[in-house]
Amino acid sequence: MHLLQVKNYFLLFTFLFSSLFLFSQEDNNWVVPNSRAFTLDESELDFLSNNKLRAEEKIKELLQQAEKAGTEKQRTTSIRKMLMAIMLEEAENPPISFDLAKVHIRFGDYLNTAGAWKMGIEHSKIALDYMRKSEGVNSDQLYNMIGKVGSYYMLSEQFDSAKVYYNLALAEAYKTKNPLWISAAYNNLGILLGKLNKPTEATEYFIKAKESLLYKEKNDTILLISILDNVAEMETAAYNYQKAIEIYNTKIELAEKVNLHWQHLKSIVGLCKNYLLLNNRNTAFKQLKRAELFMNEQKLSNITNQIVLAQLWQQYYEQTSNWHEAALKQKWVTQKNDSIEQHNNLFLNEVLQAMVAGEVAKFKKVVQIHKLQLQQKEKDLQIAEQKARFNKILAVVFISLAVALILLIYLFYRNRSNIQKTNLELKNYNLKLTEAELKNRELEKEKLARELEFKKGDLNDLTLYLSNLKEANTKMLERLNEAKNKKPEEQKELIKEISTEMLTQLSSDKKTGLIKENVSQINKEFYDKLLQLFPDLTKSELELCGLFRLNISNKEIGVLKNISPESVKMSRYRLRKKLGLKPGDDIYRFVTKI
């Protein structure tokens, strides 16, 4: 269990680090090496753009192809097909169906297997939401999906969320009126409470799990074996080694009845572990030999079983002071774990490459636009610098002439009365100059204040404009769909009208840039104060605080940043944590007080 946790942490860290690294590079680093998992060939591109097929038909076909390519050797093909289906979902908004749910189930399984828990759980939750909205999905299927989400939360050590979903699974199991599902739900809750170091509550759930079984079918016995296995592990953790040995012996008898060989082997391994903990080396040696023989006879010599058995042999050799053999076993286990880690890292890299390569096409266009804007800003900056240099030279010339003039006056009027008169004139001149400068500064402040107010108004107008623009695009799409049923002449005329409307909307990117520039100018002083209080805030989080300060809604922020309102909510949730806000605190009121 310890090795599994270490492996999961390592995979999750690798995924997060890789994601941050890939998305922080310049444009020339966007191309992911060996990203074959998402390289679409011509036939696949034709399939995606086939207007004769509806989106749900394409998704169903892609799902079938992904399930056919389910082996490890064809895994890249399966990932590519599922990502194509998700692209169709985003682009064409097909009706929610069980097939669409299965796409997210399969993709979520891949992500969770790769250790990308956060994204994997999100896709699994999307699948669960689709299943609830789909017709023909029975309670058994819904129960299994809820339990799967709970299991993923538990594997990622998010125990509070796991408990919520396991309780939901229990409620769904009672709806099915299936004793087997009810027992399995209690068993899962028992495992979770065991991980939370609550043995008393865990034992209560295991008892309920056993009481819920009817013991009429083979599956009842299989689930009973699983429950006993969990109870035995708890007894071992509580140092009740003899009681754990009794439970493992009972498990072996039950496993023999239903030919459940892997649980049989697991029980022998459990006996080995407890005998070693009791320092009963002779019996432990016999059980180790028994486990080796059974594993070979039943062909259960997979790498996981070999590692577990090798670790027990290592403990045995350490107890018998055979340090040479213990070191050999430790070295072998380390090599095998490294090999498994390398294999899992390759799989994670494969999934990452597929996802990143799928997003590159979308982000490249945005980067190109930003580059053009940056080049234009650089040109403007160069012009401004040239003007500033010219003004400096002009100021130096003017000051030099003024000094020369004063010197000439001083030399010309040598007598005392003339000097006093000259000094008086200079004093009056300087006084007037200072007053003029003060007036100019006040005028500039008033001008800047007016411009700031105008920009605030422009910001609200542009935000409303972009929101209306999105609605207009939706209406244009509806009109295009209506054009399918019209005559060719009417279709041409309608397309011509829509093209004209779209040309008038091409300035939206410039307006979005103006919005961001206005927000930065409006909130400049606010950003400085906020960074002094919270220096760990990122640029994106600063912009989000600035938008909250201007009382802009989640929907409007989503339009400005080209993201969904749900993504805005997630960003706001993370921002609240960084700002140290309590659940009842209003983030809008908080930022306006800074």
Could you say which of 214, 247, 280 is where a domain stops? 214
Assign residue 528 the CATH number of its domain.
1.10.10.10
Same domain flag for 548 and 454: no
Give the pLDDT band of residue 354 (cuts 50, 70, 90): low
Give the pLDDT band of residue 424 (cuts 50, 70, 90): confident
Rounded to two decimals, the pTM is: 0.52
Question: Is residue 28 a part of any domain in this protein?
Answer: no
pLDDT tens digits, 292-305: 998 898 888 888 88
- Write the CB contacts of 242 (distance below 8 Å, at least 6 apart in sequence): 274, 278
CA distances from 170 to 142, 183, 187, 191, 526 (A): 11, 9, 10, 14, 50
Q: Which has more confidence, 420 or 549?
A: 549
* pLDDT value, residue 28: 32
Could you say which of 509, 533, 555 is where a domain stops? 509
* Domain limits for position 292: 216-321
pLDDT tens digits, 452-483: 565 555 566 656 666 666 677 777 777 777 77
Cβ atoms of 93 and 133 within 8 Å: the answer is no
* pLDDT value, residue 29: 32
**Residue 72 in this model has a pLDDT that exceeds 90:** no
- Write the CB contacts of 260 (distance below 8 Å, at least 6 apart in sequence): 222, 225, 254
Same domain flag for 231 and 168: no
Assign residue 174 the CATH number of its domain.
1.25.40
Cβ atoms of 548 and 569 within 8 Å: the answer is no
Tokens encoding 225: 């074996």
The span from the CA of 270 to the CA of 287, in Å, is 10
Mean of the per-residue pLDDT values for the chain?
Answer: 80
Same domain flag for 499 and 539: no
Could you say which of 448, 478, 509 is where a domain stops? 509
Question: Is residue 229 a part of any domain in this protein?
Answer: yes
Helices (H), 413-487: 416-482
Question: Is residue 144 a part of any domain in this protein?
Answer: no
Q: Which has more confidence, 248 or 481?
A: 248
Instruction: Tell me which amino acid residue 461 is.
Output: D
Give the pLDDT band of residue 379 (cuts 50, 70, 90): confident
* pLDDT value, residue 145: 94
Same domain flag for 498 and 571: no
The span from the CA of 76 to the CA of 66, in Å, is 10
* pLDDT value, residue 238: 87
Assign residue 229 the CATH number of its domain.
1.25.40.10
Question: Is residue 271 a part of any domain in this protein?
Answer: yes
* pLDDT value, residue 551: 81
* pLDDT value, residue 368: 61
Instruction: Tell me which amino acid residue 557 is.
Output: I
Same domain flag for 256 and 200: no
* pLDDT value, residue 522: 73
The span from the CA of 573 to the CA of 571, in Å, is 5
Same domain flag for 207 and 232: no
Into how many domains does the chain fold?
4
The span from the CA of 323 to the CA of 321, in Å, is 5
Least-confidence region, from 22-36, 134-148, 358-372, 434-448 = 22-36
Question: Is residue 241 a part of any domain in this protein?
Answer: yes
Tell me the residue length of the chain: 594
* pLDDT value, residue 492: 74
* pLDDT value, residue 506: 53
* pLDDT value, residue 431: 83
Q: Which has more confidence, 380 or 187?
A: 187
* pLDDT value, residue 223: 85
Same domain flag for 446 and 496: yes
Question: Is residue 272 a part of any domain in this protein?
Answer: yes
Best CA proximity match to 270, nearest among 302, 225, 206: 225
Same domain flag for 189 and 222: no
Secondary structure letter of residue 177 according to DSSP: T
Same domain flag for 480 and 574: no
* pLDDT value, residue 4: 38
Average pLDDT on 250-272 reads 90
* pLDDT value, residue 340: 76
Q: Which has more confidence, 97 or 361?
A: 97
DSSP 303-361: HHHHHHHHHHHHHHHHHTT-HHHHHHHHHHHHHHHHHHHHHHHHHHHHHHHHHHHHHHH
**Residue 25 in this model has a pLDDT that exceeds 70:** no
Same domain flag for 210 and 227: no
**Residue 569 in this model has a pLDDT that exceeds 70:** yes
Same domain flag for 245 and 316: yes
Same domain flag for 208 and 235: no
* pLDDT value, residue 10: 37
The single residue listed with the structure tokens 């007080």 is: 593
- Write the CB contacts of 217 (distance below 8 Å, at least 6 apart in sequence): 180
If DSSP codes are grouped into helix, strand and coil, which group holds residue 116? coil
Question: Is residue 387 a part of any domain in this protein?
Answer: no
* pLDDT value, residue 51: 81
Question: Is residue 210 a part of any domain in this protein?
Answer: yes
| Region of residue 580 (left: phi > 0; alpha: psi -120 to 50; beta: else) | left
